Amino acid sequence: MDSLRRAVLQVGWDDLEHAYGRASDAPARLLALVGDDPRARADAVGYLDAAMLHQGSVYSATGPFVRIVAGLLGDPRTAVPVADVLPWDTAPRPLRAALLNYLVLFVEACRLEVPDEELIRDAYPAGRDEADLQRIREAVRACDWRLDPDPATRTPPPPALVEADDDREYGRAMAARDLLTCRKVVPDVFDAILPLVDDADADVRTPAATAAVYCLRHESPGGREAALAELLEDTAAWSSEPRERAAIARLLGMLGRRPESLLRDRHPGVRACAALASAFAGDERATRELVAALEDPATADRWFEGHLPGQQGWLRFDLVQALTGRVDDLGTILPAALGLAAMSSGATYDRDLGPLVGLPFPQPLTEQSVLTTAQRAFLCALLANWHPRIPFDEELCRMLLR
C-alpha cells in the first residue's frame, strides 16, 4: 500500500464534514489528484475549492484533507499539468502550482492573526454544557436534507437544523473548533512547501513563498523568518520576472524586512511594492516611489496580472493606504493626489481618492478660504472629474477658484 492510501485510510472521513455534508467522498478525490484521469484530477482540485475551502471557510474535514494534500507536493505526479479546474480558472499549470495556490487560501482561512486563546474561548464557551453541544451536532448530522432550488417542491428544514442555525453560540463553537483543528496542520504545510520556495518554476515558487510567509503568522512553525527572508532575497537577486520580484518585495515587507535592493529595482512596480514595506515608513525614497506610482494609478494597476501577495483589490488601493499612513503634507503628495482625482469614481472613492481628500484641507472650506497653489491644483483636478462622493460643495469650489 502506498503512502497516500495509508494516509487516507487513517482518517475517519464519515465523521467529518465539508461544505456540502459528510466528507465520505474525500478519499476518492484525494486519490484522483494523482490518478491517470485528467478530468478527475481537475475535478479534485475544484473540490478542494468548493467543498473544503468554500468561500474562505474551513470545516472539520479541511485540516485532515489539506495535511494529505501538502504531503503530495513532493510527489512527481504533481508536476503534471491541470486545466479547467473551475469555469473562471481554465489556464493550464502544474498541478503542484494549483495545489499551492489553494494552500495559500487555506492558511488565510485559518485566520492566524486571531490569538489561539480567543478561539479556545469561542470553542468551549463558559457555562455551556458540552453534552448539549454534542447533542445538537449529532442531530444535525442525522439530518438528510438539502435546500431544493425549486420553491414549488421545497420542504422546510428539519427542526434540528433550525435549532443549530438559531443557536449562535453553538455555531461559533463549532467554527472555532474547526479553525483550531486546521491550525494544527499549519506546521505540516510549512514544512511541505519550504523546499519549493526556490523551485525551478516561478509558478510554483511564488505561491510556495506566499504560503510560507503566511504560515509564519502563527507561532507553530518556529523562528524561521530569517532563513526564509534570506532565501527570498536570493531568489529576487536572480529572478528575471518583475512580477516575481514584486511578490517577493511584498513578502519581505510582511516579514518586517527592508527590501533595499528591490527599492532600487529597474521596474517601477517592483520599487513601488518594495516601498510598501512598513520598515520603510519615514524613508523619503519609499515615499517618492509611492507618489510616483500614484501619479499614473491606471498604469500602476496594470503593472502585474492578478493579485500579488497580500493584495486586496487594485494595487493603487495598497499604495494609497501606505502613503496616507506616512505623509500628511499636500505638497509632498500632490502628483499622487492629482493622479487619483483624475480616475477615481464613486465606486472606488473610499479606497483611492477618499483617504487623500482630507489632507489638503485641514480646515473646512468657506467663502473666505484662501487657497495655496497646491490646493488650487487639487480642486481643479476634483472639478474635472467630479462625483457625488466628494465631500465638498461643488459650487463653492468653483467660486473659490474664480
Q: Burial, 213: exposed, middle or buried (Cβ in 10 Å; 0-12, 13-18, 19+)?
A: buried
Same domain, 240 and 317: yes
Q: In the chain, what is the straight-line distance between the N-terminal and C-terminal CA atoms, in Å?
A: 84
pLDDT interval class at 90 (50, 70, 90)? low
Longest distance between any two alpha carbons in the chain, whole Å: 84
Give the residue from 295, 311, 327 where a domain finishes: 327
In a domain, 97, yes or no: no
What is the Rg, in whole angstroms, of the alpha carbon atoms belonging to the chain? 25
E-only strand ranges, 6-92: 17-18, 21-22, 81-82
Give pLDDT tens digits for 281-300: 989 999 999 999 999 999 99
In a domain, 11, yes or no: no
Q: What is the pLDDT of residue 211?
A: 96
* Residue 294: domain span: 224-327
For the chain, give the number of residues.
402
Q: What is the pLDDT of residue 329?
A: 83
Residue 361 C-alpha cell reads as: 484641507
Give the residue from 292, 311, 327 where a domain finishes: 327
Give the residue from 272, 302, 327 where a domain finishes: 327
Grid look-up 438528510 returns 144
Same domain, 228 and 323: yes
Higher local confidence (pLDDT), 88 or 142: 142
In a domain, 229, yes or no: yes
pTM: 0.89
In a domain, 35, yes or no: no
pLDDT of 146 above 80: no
Contact indicator for 183, 110 with CB cutoff of 8 Å: yes
Mean of the per-residue pLDDT values of the chain = 92
Same domain, 290 and 378: no
Contact indicator for 327, 333 with CB cutoff of 8 Å: yes
Contact indicator for 273, 304 with CB cutoff of 8 Å: no
What is the identity of the amino acid at 213? V
In a domain, 292, yes or no: yes
As a whole number, mean pLDDT of residues 321-335 equals 90
Q: What is the pLDDT of residue 164?
A: 87
In a domain, 72, yes or no: no
